[in-house]
Chains A and B, each alone.
Chain A
Amino acid sequence: MSRVRFLYAKRGLSAFIPHVELPPLLARSARRAGLSLLLTEGFSPHPKISLGPALPVGVPALAEPAEIWVGNWEQRALEDWQRGMPPGFSLLCASIVEGPTLSRLCKAGEYRVYFRNPFPGEGPLRLAVESALQEPEILCAMDFDGDSARIVLAQPDRFGPGFLVKAFRASGLVEGWKDLLILRTTVGGWEMNTVKSLV
């Protein structure tokens, strides 16, 4: 039995599929590819899959980590699995792993924020995030590229897109989710001022 860690992208309208629906979606696609999945023990056994920190609906992701326990993993399995994935999902890479759980390894998430209305400006955005944080060390990085912001937040299970929207709304920069698009570009370890991929 192999514990396989993989990265996947979730793009387009598929970003609206709730996080909680991803284990059955991944399991079904894996079965379509002929993978034999380890089932959990207990009354209602289900395939053993663990996901990275939850993303709210409407947030596309470029490289999300997840793990699945497979009985017949082979080199070409990722390719076969990709053919069984629904539109909007891409499997990027995979490797067999051991060691700490995924949740313990996910230290930071990197986001890119785009505004539908005119860009509010670097100052107001930085102020909005900083004033919403009681623990300043949560904000690992924030920089700007044209009319988008790159923001890296620690503790991705607690601080993510929901926190950012709340912060921008509190500062009057947006009314809500409809005014912006947040992309999670990556989530993983935090080393040397970069988010380190887990695969």
Chain B
Amino acid sequence: MERPFEMNSPLWPLLTTVKQPARYIGQEWGSNPGKSGGATPGLRVCLAFPDVYEVGMSFLGFQILYALGNAQEDTILERAYCPWIDMEESLRASGLPLSSVESQTPLNRFDAVGFTLQYELTATNILTMLDLGGIPLRSEDRGENDPLVLAGGPGALAPEPLAPFFDFFCLGDGEELFPKVLRVISETRGLSREQRLSCLGEIPGVYVPQLASCEFSGTGVKIRSKQPLPIRRQFVRDMDSVFVPSSLIVPNTGIIHDRIPVEVFRGCTRGCRFCQAGMIYRPLRERSPERVVEIAMGLLEKTGWEEIGLVSLSSCDYTGLSPVLEALSGQLAEKGVKLSLPSLRMDAFSVELAAQLGTVRKGGLTFAPEAGSQRLRDVINKGIDEGNIRMTLESMSEHGWDRVKLYFMVGLPTETESDLQGIVEISKEAFRILRKRHRRAEVSVSVNGFIPKPHTPFQWEAQLPYPETEARCKWLKRQLENPRISLNYHDPRQGFLEAVLARGDRRLAEVIERAWRNGCRFDGWTETFHFDTWMEAFDSEGIDPAFFANRQREADEDFPWDHVDTGVSRSFLWRERENAFRERITPDCRTGNCQGCGFSPTDCPRLKEEKGP
């Protein structure tokens, strides 16, 4: 009897021994739409996500780029995810390369491999993927037959620690950049690698680190390049006319955000001073309610997903929310499809909204007051007061919720013990309010150490040393003795490493490579994080990590991300820093005046509206 074709798969025996093998198989509906069985494509590009499948498949950016790339003539896009440690070991033991999930093509057989930099602690995973994919780790070691290795995402806006590992970075919205990049990659085939990088460097928003040099003087770093600096981040102007996939890849297994993501706007002008996303994705660009509904219903029909998420940095702020909900809720309820908002603002309106959407009651609601006192919330420009917090909790309790999760940060600039005491009081007050109506009331408090990120008003600030962050977290835990109020905090050592990698310069690449060679993997995961190995790597390279994370920076220091222009001016960030220390609120420009963050009236829809035609 003929043996089944499954016996011929070299991957099969490996899949029988690893955890969650479905991570590695692809086979989703919607992958490579219309391309299978076609003529040999001209250009093959692999989108590489440096974390596991279920995290990577939750990333909307790759859904967009995948469809956008595959929509180009003679171009085929595939995907790869970082193998978990057991799979990495199995691949190495069997001598198999890391391959794309669609066609099992090894990464080094693609014309280009594009990573997204969503989180600093995926740095070592990038090296794992390059190495297992048969691609030399460093740009300078790659030959004419190796793929071009590129990166985009928020991490590309402060790219220096990873600069030696990439041939080029794409700064800004993929819809703007990706088609141009694909065209140049395709058109320059046959030229030398050096010539190709030089051509790519002519695309606005593309940064080629090999064309740049770093001059370290004192505490700062001056970056000079053959490319004109700064490199300006590129962004989509109109969310209604921008490319949107007509279908999506639908996973076969549960993923972190298992729903159709429909963007309602991009950017945020709330102006929280700690928030990198709120600064680097400006200006605020809303999508019309009609277009949101059209996209949602189209994707629902095509994908069959049972839930739609209206996504953005703060969907409750979307001005078109009422017409969208009105248009969608009836049609969706009929089909048994749920509608969700990923983040809730702390006000009664948001709770009403959650109630209207039928948000799962047993999971409770999640809010982020961020700081414990009004003074500190004003420092960070959080824009909510005690009244909002109390009213939100009362309202959710009235609507029947008995559980709440509250997010706070410790180590924010100017924090004192009374601010920490404020966290304790809010947590106890939350419990007291929920308990009035619910015998089984529960409050869970989640605490993160503050990370001063590049391109934010707090980019000049020092991070609290991690032992002190830990001491503050432990102090908070001790104050909350009620077993129905739980407090968890993220490992402050991971927050420290995140700060170092976020704020570092090109010298850190040596440390990253050494840590990886010494076994560091999945550093964002608690169970696989090896802090001591990282510290040994810093030590071996003679680099003090505290220099990057825990040092207050001078007003005029040259930062290793100064060659990137996000559109928000450094003077605006400094002004916001000063306002922070004066505990002065800066209003949202949607409701107040333009705050002059750096965009011109042609680029900022809000400003255009204010100035008139």
Contacts and interface: CB of A to CB of B under 8 A. Distances in A.
A39 B336 contact: yes
A183 interface: yes
Contacts of B594: none
A60 B29 contact: no
A164 interface: no
Contacts of B24: 16
Given A44-B360, A114-B4, A181-B6, A16 B25 contact: yes
B16 A178 contact: yes
A148 interface: yes
A181 B29 contact: no
B252 A146 contact: no
Nearest to A39: B336
Nearest to A62: B4
A28 B299 CA distance: 12
A25 B251 CA distance: 8
A16 to B, nearest CB: 4
A20 to B, nearest CB: 9
A13 interface: yes
B22 A32 contact: no
B21 interface: yes
B303 interface: yes
B1 interface: yes
Chain A facing B: main interface SS: mixed
B585 interface: no
A126 B360 CA distance: 52
Given A13-B11, A176-B16, A28 B306 contact: yes
A31 B308 CA distance: 14
Nearest to A58: B16
A78 interface: no
Given A16-B15, A28-B306, A116 B7 contact: yes
A119 B253 CA distance: 35
Nearest to B252: A17
Nearest to A56: B16
B482 to A, nearest CB: 28
A152 to B, nearest CB: 16
A85 B15 CA distance: 23
Contact of A13 (B3, B26, B305): B26
B418 to A, nearest CB: 42
Contacts of A70: none
B17 interface: yes
Interface in B498-537: none
B27 A18 contact: no
B279 interface: no
B260 to A, nearest CB: 11
B29 A29 contact: yes
B542 interface: no
Interface string B301-324: 111111000000000000000000
Contacts of B9: 12-13
A124 interface: no
Nearest to A37: B336
Interface string A168-199: 00000000111101010000000000000000
A123 interface: no
Nearest to B1: A145
Contact of B13 (A24, A30, A178): A178
Interface in B320-363: 335-336, 360-362
Contact of A87 (B1, B4, B27, B254): B27
A67 B343 CA distance: 37
Contact of A18 (B11, B13, B253): B253
Interface of A: 11-18, 21, 24-25, 27-32, 36-37, 39, 43-47, 57-58, 60, 84-88, 112, 114, 116, 145-148, 176-179, 181, 183
8 contacts: A12-B5, A17-B25, A31-B304, A36-B335, A43-B361, A87-B27, A87-B28, A183-B4
Q: Which 9 A-B pairs have the closest CB atoms?
A: A31-B304, A28-B304, A177-B16, A13-B25, A32-B304, A178-B13, A86-B29, A16-B21, A145-B1
